[in-house]
Amino acid sequence: MTPPKASDIGMTAEASETPPAVSVCLETLKNRPDFLRAAQGRRQGTASFLVQGRAREDASAAMRIGFTASKKIGNAVARNHAKRRLRALAREILPKFAQAGWDYVIVAKPEATNNRNFADMRADLVAALAMLHRGTR
């Protein structure tokens, strides 16, 4: 039996060569000790969320990002919604304004993260990163 022929409707070769939007030069924090070390570093609060950041010893390494939404945010649906919004924000802002070799943790705030205008959240993250990196460049 011969396999079915590929159709012209699927993905093209050019589309498969581009990286997915999820992995735009961002590694995610997965271990509790990494989150705890980031919490011991610098922190900057905004109206939408709290940003924690820490420079690692290996400054040439890629930046890493973690997201936290506690039960104060609400049920699982509300927490996942908050983390989806924070991930979208990080994909958009961090490649432009973050520094290599840093770990970042973005902590959702109750009510604010899910209800705040996304444009305001962008401005909050840019301002928070500028405050975190003040005096480090």
pLDDT tens digits in sequence order for the chain, 137 residues long: 666 666 555 554 454 454 444 455 578 999 999 999 999 999 999 999 999 999 988 767 788 999 999 999 999 999 999 999 999 999 999 999 988 889 999 999 998 999 999 999 999 999 999 999 987 75
Domain assignment present for residue 95? The answer is: yes
Domain that holds residue 84: 24-132
CATH number at residue 91: 3.30.230.10
Q: In DSSP terms, which residues pair with 53 in a beta bridge?
A: 42, 104
Q: How many domains does the chain have?
A: 1
Domain assignment present for residue 99? The answer is: yes
Domain assignment present for residue 18? The answer is: no
Q: In DSSP terms, which residues pair with 50 in a beta bridge?
A: 45, 107
The pTM score is: 0.79
